[in-house]
Structure 1
Amino acid sequence: MTTSARRPVYTHPVDGFGTVTIAPVDPAADAALIHGWVSQERARFWGMREANLELVQEIYEDLDRRTTHHAFIVSRDGEPVGLFQTYDCAEDRVSECYEVQPGDTGVHLLIRPAQGAAEHGFSAALMTAFMAFVWSDGRTRRVVAEPDARNEKAIARLERTGFVMDAEVELPEIDLPEVYLPAKRARLAFLTAPVAR
């Protein structure tokens, strides 16, 4: 099954940009695509540069089995353009770094490498769709991000989106049979749900 053939869980038209669709990652079908993105130098902060194709598939199979963590391929007019992950902060290592509140949803985002010249407003348009998707669940009250503390581009993008930057923390190492995550210096960032009018 190709990503474009899978039924999206969310569709969001963005004026002047196109239609953004968000569909669950199919670990077997999407592993090669994801590996192609995460193995590049520009994705070094994603922490998977050394992972081979088999490991990438195993990682996303593990995520697929979880009910608290979710991974999605994001497409623009049917073309994959990013990897978006959401998670329940109370069930993640970030919970050891701050006081989790009810309705906190964590996010990770990887935008695919630019093809040709960079397109002005590309990441902003995707962020519009991502945030609309997160708020649409009716449970999220606050979005939490924890980019690598050295990732200045991601931090600047979050600030432009309206996130309030918070403390620098150390996410603890996770060493389990099914998953290994090294400790990471991260910068917490928070975005409160918009007030309904």
Structure 2
Amino acid sequence: MPPTDATAHAATTATDTGADPSPGTAGGSAAEGTDSEDTLDLRLPDELIALFAAEADTGEARSRAPMASPASMAAPAFVSAPAFVAVPFVAVPPFVAMADDDLLDHVADWGPAVTPAGVFQLVPVQVDRDLPLIDRWMNDPAVAEFWELAGPRAVTESHLQAQLSADGRSIPCLGVLEGTPMSYWEIYRADLDPLARLFPLRPHDTGIHLLIGEVADRGRKLGSTLLRAVADLVLNKRPACARVIAEPDLRNTPSVAAFLSAGFRFSAEIDLPAKRAALMIRDRSLRNLL
């Protein structure tokens, strides 16, 4: 999949998005004084600890159970995220997500943000309602260059369903400005994404992908305004999250510039399966300085 581009010329979380597939996840936040250090936090995410405990509790029962059929042994579906092939990383079964309540702290309940451009809100996608609009955006050449989801409507539908039917580690949303849908976003758990195999990520690091859908909204510098608003929403609503992550295509200079204007810092160039990306990070400890 492809991308995280913030402006018209470069519509793109995977990142999310992803796409790279929600509150209440357990886990401590990183110390304020070290948020800007790109070092690997060796503490296991609480989701994994819960998974290991569940496996230990049920191991004996499984050893006595009859052999499962091939169909029942099928691997869990994995999220398709922008710029990544479908590579298993950490399979978080649905029962773990439910035990933690929500892997992304209830995006649907985050509420509106007041921005210089007006009142903005993330609204989780409903395929039957939103597919025609998102498909039209994906077939815009300026968007398709980075998202690579142009074509029959079924292409976009498959991308959305892959996230909506997974375990909640990625939430596709419409960005609604002053009551009008005008952008597409993917909010995802970067630490549970294949990105974590390529760069040291910390528990609860949260990624974003986005595109500005309407041509009339491009060139108005809305990208940086909305990126800052969404990054603030993530940090406000996800207290365990110390960093917001994005990986726009390095060729997409307007997008990279929008992230910088939104308080993100350039951390590294990374090679992803479908692109060379600029790893952008917004640190909780620096949010009032950048």
Please confirm whether the aligned pair reaches a TM-score higher than 0.5, indicating the same fold.
yes
3-state SS of paired residue (2:216):
coil
Q: Distance in 1 between matches of 2:285 and 2:217?
A: 35
Structure 1: 5+ residue stretches without partners? 1-6, 173-182
- The equivalent of 1:100 in structure 2 is 201
Match of 1:21 among 112, 121, 145: 121
CA shift for structure 1 position 111? 1.1
Relative to 1, partners in 2 of residues 1:60 and 1:161: Cα closer, same or farther, differing over 3 Å? same
Relative to 1, partners in 2 of residues 1:91 and 1:166: Cα closer, same or farther, differing over 3 Å? same
Relative to 1, partners in 2 of residues 1:138 and 1:149: Cα closer, same or farther, differing over 3 Å? same
Q: Distance in 1 between matches of 2:182 and 2:217?
A: 13
Match of 2:284 among 173, 177, 193: 193
* Aligned partners of 2:228 and 2:263 also within 8 Å: no
Q: Distance in 1 between matches of 2:211 and 2:217?
A: 18
Question: Residue 52 in 1 paired to residue 141 in 2?
Answer: no
3-state SS of paired residue (2:280):
strand
Q: Deviations over 1:89-130 (max 9, x none)?
A: 1221211210111231111011123328843x4233322321
* Aligned partners of 1:8 and 1:23 also within 8 Å: no
Flag the structure with higher strand content.
1
Higher Cα Rg, which structure: 2
TM-score in terms of structure 2 length:
0.56
Bigger mean CA deviation after superposition, 75-84 or 107-116? 107-116
Q: Distance in 2 between matches of 1:116 and 1:94?
A: 30
* Aligned partners of 1:64 and 1:70 also within 8 Å: yes
Match of 1:32 among 132, 137, 142: 132
TM-score in terms of structure 1 length:
0.81
Question: Residue 168 in 1 paired to residue 269 in 2?
Answer: yes
- The equivalent of 1:123 in structure 2 is 223
Q: Distance in 1 between matches of 2:282 and 2:217?
A: 32
3-state SS of paired residue (1:148):
coil
Q: Distance in 1 between matches of 2:183 and 2:210?
A: 7
Same amino acid, percent of matched pairs: 25
CA shift for structure 1 position 196? 9.0
Relative to 1, partners in 2 of residues 1:158 and 1:117: Cα closer, same or farther, differing over 3 Å? closer
Q: Deviations over 1:142-175 (max 9, x none)?
A: 0111111211111111111121112222223xxx
Bigger mean CA deviation after superposition, 139-148 or 124-133? 124-133
Q: Distance in 1 between matches of 2:241 and 2:270?
A: 23
Q: Distance in 1 between matches of 2:287 and 2:162?
A: 36
Aligned runs of 1:121-160 on 2, under 5 Å? 121-135=221-235, 136-160=237-261
The number of equivalent residue pairs is: 178
CA shift for structure 1 position 22? 1.1
- Paired letter, 1:58: S
Q: Distance in 1 between matches of 2:257 and 2:217?
A: 23
Q: Distance in 1 between matches of 2:229 and 2:215?
A: 18
**What is the root-mean-square deviation in Å for CA atoms of aligned residues?**
2.2
Q: Distance in 1 between matches of 2:283 and 2:154?
A: 37
Relative to 1, partners in 2 of residues 1:9 and 1:27: Cα closer, same or farther, differing over 3 Å? farther
Which structure's relative contact order is higher, taking Cα pairs within 8 Å and 6+ residues apart?
2
- The equivalent of 1:79 in structure 2 is 180
Relative to 1, partners in 2 of residues 1:150 and 1:116: Cα closer, same or farther, differing over 3 Å? closer
Relative to 1, partners in 2 of residues 1:68 and 1:113: Cα closer, same or farther, differing over 3 Å? same
3-state SS of paired residue (2:259):
helix
- The equivalent of 1:179 in structure 2 is none
